[in-house]
Amino acid sequence: LKDDDRHNIRFEVQCKRWYLNKLLHEHEWEKNDLYHLWDKNIAINIVMNKIQQLIGTGDFYTLASAEFKLKDNFNKKKAAQLLDLLKISLYPKARRPWLPEIYSRHQEDCSAEYVKKNLLPALNKVGISPLVIPAEWKVDRLDNPAHIMV
């Protein structure tokens, strides 16, 4: 790699036929007229939407750093719920799209729908991604790459 390439992050959005059909319908494009996907603004919107679905809009924190921020912004019960959700994201198979379902299996009184409508938006509101930095990385916080894309 060249020195300039070491600091690049590459995002790809793989589009299945149903997703392309959705884009054609949303933008009222003619069938098979995918030339519009090369438009910079449309491409950025598509990638940003996928980034938000996968990693959220908040920055990445260690559990310890997130805990301080949660305690400053929420009551004790809500902060504990959010911290429990973040702990689950450290499991190897607990990635963002499946996080609500995994969390609801561990918490009897909490549905996946509640996680999607209340807990994940609460994290986004205070700028915390639902994906946690492992403590062994020796970094307390990383900016969300979505911030530098626009």
The letter for the amino acid at 116 is K
Contact indicator for 123, 129 with CB cutoff of 8 Å: yes
pLDDT at 125: 92
What's 59's DSSP letter? B
pLDDT at 96: 54
Is-above-0.95 flag for pTM? no
As beta bridge partners, residue 18 has: none
Q: For the chain, which residues score pLDDT lower than 70?
A: 1-13, 32-34, 92-100, 102-106, 149-150
As beta bridge partners, residue 142 has: 60
pLDDT at 32: 66
As beta bridge partners, residue 60 has: 142
Give 17: exposed, middle or buried? Use CB within 10 Å, 0-12, 13-18, 19+: exposed
